Amino acid sequence: MERLSRFIFTAPSWPRSLVIIIALGLLIDLALLRTKEPILFFGTIAFTLPAVVAFLTTRPLVRLLGKELSWNRSGLLSFASVILGIIVTALAAIGSESGFLLPITYAGSLGVVLSLRMPVLVAIADYRLHRMIVPSALQSLAGLGAGYLYFGSEFLWWAISLLLIFGIGSSIFIWLIDHPLKRSFGVSGLSFLNALIAHMTDGSKTLEGFFRDIGEEVTVPQASIIFSRSGRPNAVITAPNVHPGPMGEIGSANLPKMLHDSFNEEVLITHGCATHDFNLVSEDEAAKIATALKSSFRDLTFAEGASKSLRTRHGSVEILTQRFTDAVMMVSTRSPERTEDIDYNIGIAIMAEGHRWFRDVVFVDAHNCMTDLSSPVLPATLIGTEYYRAALAALEEAASLPMEPLSVGISHKDLPFSREEGFGDLGVQVLITAVGNQKTAYVLFDGNNMHEGAREEIQSAITDLVDDAEIMTTDSHVVNTISGKNPIGLAVPSDLVIPHVRAAVIEAIADLTPAEVAGATTWCEKLNIFGSQRIVQFASTVNVLLIFIPPLSLGMLILAFVLSILIFSIIG
């Protein structure tokens, strides 16, 4: 999906497009004055005037049909159409001393302009072709009037014939690029593009309807550890096995914030084992998770005791593990190597193994080292096996650790950084456990991964305050629009973040209070997610289409020109 983002761009301001359109018409007029038989104001009337008419009328007409089109996009489309029309007219008329070809080539340019505007408006405004035919034809229809003014009524027959040919060809082209997605997913790919652009331009959530159409229903486990502190608010650390994506405010992209705000307790929403296949189709699905969690927090039996934390490594995977009576929490990382989404099945296998020793197993993907955008960790791969074996070793060792009295301190601080800088709405949360003479800090940023090396820099900056620490992110995709690359530490250097982390850790240490602990595991049922491999299948289909669109569009244009020549030959 990241590779598709290169096709997203911001249209230039409409005054700029309009100035260039007018300038091009004047330049053509000046150039024609140097010819033997100059055609006065041909550039202004034949190219600039139709483009301005289309610019002024396309947006109101599209809005009248219930859709949205910005002035900037309308201006850019008119400008691109002018450029294409001028090129077609100029290339085809080269070498024609008598000017006989000019009416025909200008008529051909109107057909080419129509063949450009149709797929563009279908893609960015309304995927229903029959509703976009008239807005698409506005510039060419205005050109018909200009052609009639210069070449007479015979020109209209040529031009209308060409418009029909190019219009039919463009319709076939649109059907060819939309049909594979309809056949594979039962939905229109162009409707997805409409929804994506609407989300980027005005924050529309119509994309959620698309995801709901392709999604499927699942039931996933979620484990939590709850700390009861005398006279202080309770604290909870939990690991959802769904993914906070795909982007912006769509689906479950802001899942950590939505779940956090559903509770009176201070809840740390860590990143469990889930890829983009486990994105919720809409934010409404988060309420199901909150309901399941609240149900699991009732009638808990709290007990004293926790172990000191320990670290276990196998291959490139390192795990920070701490036992809490009959529950265990493991925080995994591969930093300084990439630490990316872990497939759901790896997490389920680790939780199942953990149940040999513990009733509740919280397995966290720290998601704290982005070296580059990459694929998730899949079962049976080398890295996937390393996660499994590192977790198994940690579980075996944790099961034999002695229990000691536990104190817990928490802190939650907002940060003066924006989503665009990689920081989500929750800022940073810190939970500190004190067992014996050991203090362990669990630092959780609301963000999507960490820039390579940032985790180590932050860890090093708090070594004088605690004995061990792990730096995690929620993997919130609210910090992403299209690109998945906006990690903490990239836009804002670590040295600007560290003072806030130290302040939060100091506050959590001051908040240390004797605590009892309980584990809870619940099943979040009937969650609507994207579905297994749907994102990969969808992105693959679109990428294949993008490969074939250039030759396909060129082929359709050549076919239209050939048909035009045959018709002219027959009529002639």
Give me the pLDDT at residue 11, please: 77
Summarize the confidence of residues 222-247 as an average pLDDT.
92
Residue 281: pLDDT above 90?
no
The first and second tokens of residue 217, run together, are 């229903």
The Cα 33–Cα 395 span in angstroms is 86
Instruction: Return the pLDDT at 380.
Output: 94
Would you state the structure tokens that stand for residue 351, as one six-digit string?
Answer: 């939780």
Radius of gyration over alpha carbons of the chain, in Å?
31
The 3-state DSSP class for residue 314 equals strand
pLDDT band at 286 (very low <50, low <70, confident <90, very high): very high
Residue 177 has pLDDT above 90, yes or no: no
Residue 95 pLDDT > 60? no
Q: How confident is the model at residue 546 (pLDDT cuts 50, 70, 90)?
A: low
Could you tell me whether strands 406-413 and 310-314 are parallel, antiparallel, or unpaired per DSSP bridges?
unpaired
Measured between alpha carbons, how far is residue 204 from residues 73, 74, 209, 449 in Å? 17, 19, 11, 26
For residue 356, pLDDT over 90 is answered with: yes
Q: Assess contact for 485 and 521: CB atoms under 8 A.
A: no
Model confidence pLDDT, tens digit, residues 305-334:
999 999 999 999 999 999 999 999 999 999
- Distance, in Å, from the CA atom of 369 to the CA atom of 40, rounded to the nearest integer, reads 65
Across residues 113-124, what is the average pLDDT? 89
Beta bridge partners of 202: none
Closest residue by Cα to residue 136 from 155, 123, 150, 149: 123
Q: Hey, what are 273's tokens?
A: 């084992």
361: β partners: 328
Residue 391 vs residue 161, higher pLDDT: 391
Enclosing H/E stretch for 300: none
Cα separation, 226 vs 560, in Å, equals: 69
If pLDDT is split at 50, 70 and 90, which confidence band does 389 have? Answer: very high
Question: Is residue 510 pLDDT above 80, yes or no?
Answer: yes
Return d(Cα 76, Cα 74) in angstroms, integer: 6
Residue 185 has pLDDT above 60, yes or no: yes
pLDDT digits (tens, 9 = 90+) for 441-466: 999 999 999 999 999 999 999 999 99
Phi, psi at 521, each rounded to 5°? -125, 130
Helix axes 534-571, 101-124, angle to 10 degrees: 160
- Whether 567 has a pLDDT exceeding 80, the answer reads no
Tens digit of each residue's pLDDT (9 = 90 or more) over 127-158: 888 999 999 999 999 999 999 998 888 888 88
- Rounded mean pLDDT of 202-230? 82
123 falls in which pLDDT band (50, 70, 90)? confident
- Among 44-48, 368-372, 504-508, 548-552, top mean pLDDT goes to 504-508
The pLDDT value recorded for residue 545 is: 65
- For the chain, give the mean pLDDT: 87
Residues 180/80, Cβ–Cβ less than 8 Å:
no
**Would you say residue 561 has pLDDT above 90?**
no
Could you tell me the pLDDT band of residue 282, with boundaries at 50, 70 and 90?
A: confident
| pLDDT score for 267 | 97
> Taking residues 404-411, what's their average pLDDT?
97
Exposed/middle/buried for 569, CB within 10 Å: 0-12, 13-18, 19+? Answer: exposed
**How far is the first Cα of the chain from the last one, in angstroms, to the nearest whole number?**
51
Residue 361: predicted pLDDT: 98
Q: Which two tokens stand for residue 420?
A: 């665009």
Question: SS3 for 93?
Answer: helix
**Structure tokens belonging to residue 475:** 């993997």
531-551 in b/e form (b: 16+ CB < 10 A) is: beebbeebeebbeebeeeeee
pLDDT band at 117 (very low <50, low <70, confident <90, very high): very high
Lowest mean pLDDT among 173-182, 355-364, 489-498: 173-182
Q: Determine whether 116 is exposed, middle or buried from the number of CB atoms within 10 Å of its CB (0-12, 13-18, 19+).
A: buried
Q: Which of 428, 480, 537, 540 is nearest to 243 (CA)?
A: 480
Class of residue 348 by CB neighbours under 10 A (exposed 0-12, middle 13-18, buried 19+): middle
